[in-house]
C-alpha cells in the first residue's frame, strides 16, 4: 500500500496539481478493477456531490453517474447533463474514488475504503472557497460530513436538515442515494419528492444563476 502523502505537502499544491495527484493515486492496488480514480473537480464549483464510490459500470465507462442513478439524480436536482458535468458548477467527490468491488452475497457494492478519504478529501475541500451547497448521497457520505451525529440514518438526516435548506449558507442537503435499489425507500417516503426536492431545486437554480 502506498504511503499517504503528508497533509502539509498537499497544502502546498495548487488545486490542479492536487487533482492530478489524486488521479495518479495507486494506494489500493488490490482493487478488483485496479486503482483508477473517478471524480470531477473544479475548485470554483459552488456545488459538491458526495456519494459512495463509482459502480462497476461508471468505473469502466470513466464518467461519474453515467447510469440510471445519474439520470434520476439530475432529475432530482433539476439540471441538465451539460450543467451536471461542468466542473465549474458541480464537483463530484465520492467517499471512494475507485470501484471497491461487490459484496460476496452479490447484494450491492462493498463500502468505500476509508484510506481514500483519509488521503485526499480534506485537502481537496480546502481548495474550494466558493462552495455553497454540499449534497450528501447515502450513509457513507453523510457520516463523513455529519460526524457529530453518525448514528443518524438517511431518513432522519433528510428530515432534520433539509427543513432549513433555504436559510443555510453554506448548506448541506442529505439525500438517499439515487440508485434503483432505493425505489422502496422512495415509495415509503413520498415527502422526499413532494416536499424536499422542490426546495432543493430552487436552491440549486439560485446558485447556478450567479
- The low-confidence residues of the chain, meaning pLDDT below 70, are 1-3, 149-151, 161-170
Residue 13, C-alpha cell as written in the block: 499544491
Whole-number pLDDT of residue 1: 43
Q: How far apart are CA 20 and CA 41, in angstroms?
A: 10
Residues in a beta bridge with 102: 109
pTM of the model: 0.91
* Domain membership of residue 167 as a residue range: 7-208
**198 in a structural domain:** yes
Whole-number pLDDT of residue 169: 52
Q: How far apart are CA 64 and CA 67, in angstroms?
A: 8
89: CATH: 3.40.470.10
**101 in a structural domain:** yes
At which residue does the C-alpha cell 460526524 appear?
147
Whole-number pLDDT of residue 148: 76
Burial of 79 from C-beta contacts in 10 A (0-12 / 13-18 / 19+) = buried
**15 in a structural domain:** yes
Domain count, the chain: 1
**75 in a structural domain:** yes
CB 115 within 8 A of CB 68: no
Residue 142, C-alpha cell as written in the block: 453523510
**88 in a structural domain:** yes
Whole-number pLDDT of residue 98: 96
Whole-number pLDDT of residue 4: 73
Whole-number pLDDT of residue 104: 80
**2 in a structural domain:** no
**167 in a structural domain:** yes
Q: How far apart are CA 37 and CA 104, in angstroms?
A: 23
**1 in a structural domain:** no
Amino acid at each position: 500500500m502506498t504511503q499517504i502523502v503528508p497533509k502539509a505537502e498537499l497544502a502546498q499544491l495548487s488545486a490542479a496539481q492536487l487533482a492530478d495527484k489524486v488521479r495518479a493515486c495507486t494506494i489500493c492496488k488490490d482493487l478488483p478493477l485496479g486503482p483508477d480514480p473517478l471524480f470531477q473537480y473544479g475548485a470554483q464549483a459552488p456545488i459538491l456531490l458526495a456519494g459512495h464510490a463509482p459502480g462497476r459500470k461508471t468505473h469502466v465507462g470513466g464518467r461519474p453517474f453515467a447510469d440510471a442513478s445519474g439520470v434520476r439524480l439530475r432529475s432530482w436536482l433539476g439540471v441538465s447533463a451539460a450543467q451536471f458535468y461542468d466542473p465549474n458548477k458541480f464537483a463530484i467527490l465520492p467517499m471512494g474514488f475507485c470501484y471497491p468491488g461487490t459484496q460476496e452475497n452479490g447484494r450491492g457494492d462493498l463500502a468505500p475504503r476509508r484510506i481514500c478519504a483519509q488521503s485526499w478529501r480534506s485537502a481537496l475541500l480546502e481548495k474550494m472557497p466558493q462552495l455553497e451547497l454540499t449534497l450528501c448521497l447515502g450513509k457513507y457520505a453523510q457520516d463523513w460530513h455529519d460526524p457529530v451525529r453518525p448514528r443518524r440514518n438517511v431518513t432522519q438526516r433528510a428530515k432534520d436538515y433539509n427543513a432549513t435548506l433555504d436559510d443555510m449558507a453554506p448548506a448541506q442537503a442529505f439525500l438517499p442515494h439515487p440508485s434503483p435499489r432505493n425505489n422502496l425507500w422512495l415509495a415509503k417516503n413520498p415527502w422526499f419528492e413532494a416536499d424536499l426536492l422542490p426546495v432543493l431545486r430552487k436552491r440549486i437554480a439560485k446558485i447556478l444563476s450567479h
